Amino acid sequence: MLIDKHMKDSVFSAVIWGILERFSTQIISFLIGIILARLLSPHDYGVVGIITIFIAFSNVFIDAGFSNAIIRKLNCTESDYSTAFFSNIAIGFLVYSILWLSAPIIAFIFKEKILETLIKIAGLNVIFNSLCIVQNAILTSKLNIRLQTLINIGGQLPAGLIAIILAYHGFGIYALVIQTIGASFIKTVLLWTFAGWRPLSKFSRDSFTYLWNFGSRLLFANLIGVIFNEINSILIGKFISKDALGYYSKASQLNTNVSGVSTGVVQKIALPLLSKYQNDIPTLRLKFREMMSLLLMVLAPITAFLCFSSKDLICVLWTSRWIESADIFSLLILGSIFSPISSLSLTLLQVVGKSSTILKLEAPKKAIYIILIFCGFYYGVIGLAISSVFINFVAAVVNMFPTKSIISYSYKDQFSDLARYVLFAFPLGYSLHILTSIQNIYLSIISYAFLFFSSYILLLFLFGDQNFKKQVKHIQKFVGND
Compute φ and ψ for 409, nearest 5 degrees.
-105, 95
Give 201's DSSP letter.
Answer: S
For residues 329 and 29, the model is more confident at: 329
Q: Is residue 15 part of a domain?
A: no
Residue 391, pLDDT score: 92
Q: What's residue 10's pLDDT?
A: 44
Q: Which of 101, 344, 375 is nearest to 232 (CA)?
A: 375
Residues 290 and 417: beta-carbon distance below 8 Å? no
Distance CA 90, CA 61 (A): 11
Query: Contact 307/298 with Cβ under 8 angstroms?
Result: no
What DSSP state is assigned to residue 9?
Answer: S
What SS3 string covers 40-80? CCHHHHHHHHHHHHHHHHHHHHHHCCHHHHHHHCCCCCHHH
Q: Is pLDDT of 104 > 60?
A: yes
Task: State the Cα–Cα distance between residues 13 and 446, nearest whole angstrom.
Answer: 30
Q: What is the 3-state secondary structure (H, E, C) of 225-249?
A: HHHHHHHHHHHHHHHHCHHHHHHHH
Of the three residues 180, 212, 240, the one that is the final residue of a domain is 240
Cβ 57 vs Cβ 234: under 8 Å? no
**Same-domain status, 63 and 91:** yes
Separation between Cα atoms, residue 258 and residue 25, nearest integer Å:
11
Average pLDDT score, the chain: 85
Q: How many CB atoms lie within 10 A of CB 377?
A: 18
The DSSP symbol for 271 reads H
User: If pLDDT is split at 50, 70 and 90, which confidence band does 480 have?
Assistant: low
Q: Give the angle 100-102-108 at the CA atoms, nearest 5°.
A: 125
> When comparing pLDDT for 383 and 17, which is higher?
383
Listed range (36-40, 211-215, 462-466, 475-479) with the worst mean pLDDT: 475-479
Q: Which helix (H) or strand (E) covers residue 276, if one does?
A: none
Number of domains present in the structure of the chain: 2
Q: Does the pLDDT at position 14 exceed 90? A: no
Q: Do residues 189 and 321 both lie within one domain?
A: no
Can you tell me the distance from the alpha carbon of 220 to that of 404, in angstroms, rounded to the nearest whole number?
Answer: 24
**Pick from 108-117, 306-315, 398-407: least confident:** 398-407
Instruction: Indicate whether 232 and 96 sit together in one domain.
Output: yes
Residue type for position 275:
S
Are residues 42 and 243 in contact, defined by beta-carbon separation less than 8 angstroms?
A: yes
- Quick one: what percent of the chain has pLDDT higher than 90? 36
Q: Say if residue 263 is in the same domain as residue 176.
A: no
User: Is the residue at 408 inside a domain?
Assistant: yes
Domain boundary among 188, 215, 240: 240
**Burial class of 193 by CB neighbour count within 10 A (0 to 12, 13 to 18, 19+):** exposed
What angle in degrees, to the nearest 10, is found between the helix axes of 411-435 and 281-308?
20
Q: Is residue 92 part of a domain?
A: yes
DSSP 439: S
pLDDT digits (tens, 9 = 90+) for 25-61: 778 888 898 899 889 989 999 999 899 889 988 888 8
Q: Is the pLDDT of residue 21 over 90?
A: no
Higher pLDDT, 244 or 199: 244
Inform me whether the pLDDT recorded for 132 exceeds 50. yes
The whole-angstrom separation of Cα 386 and Cα 334 is 9
Least confident of 122-136, 173-187, 249-263, 394-408: 249-263
Identity of the highest mean pLDDT range in 110-119, 200-209, 336-345, 461-470: 110-119
Q: Rounded mean pLDDT of 196-222?
A: 80
Is residue 272 domain-shared with residue 220, that is, in the same domain? Answer: no
Q: Are residues 447 and 360 in the same domain?
A: yes
From 207, 240, 273, give the residue that closes a domain. 240
- At 231 the pLDDT is 87
- Res. 271 pLDDT band, cuts 50 70 90: confident
For residue 56, give its domain range.
40-240
Q: What is the DSSP letter of 321?
A: G
Structural domain contains residue 27? no
Same domain, 210 and 275: no
Residue 265 lies in a domain: yes
Kindly state whether residues 266 and 230 are assigned to the same domain. Answer: no
Q: Is the pLDDT of residue 8 over 60?
A: no
Q: 315: Cβ–Cβ under 8 A, 6 or more apart, which residues?
A: 322, 323, 326, 441
With respect to residue 2, please indicate whether it lies within any of the assigned structural domains. no
Judgement on whether residues 178 and 227 belong to the same structural domain of the protein? yes
**Domain co-membership, 235 together with 248:** no
pLDDT level of residue 176 (50, 70, 90 thresholds): very high
| Helix and strand counts by DSSP (H, E) for the chain | 22, 0
- In this structure, the answer to whether residues 172 and 283 fall within a common structural domain is no
What is the structure's pLDDT at 405? 82
| 300/370 same-domain check | yes
Q: Is residue 13 part of a domain?
A: no
What confidence tier does 4 reach under pLDDT thresholds 50, 70, 90? very low
Domain assignment present for residue 130? The answer is yes
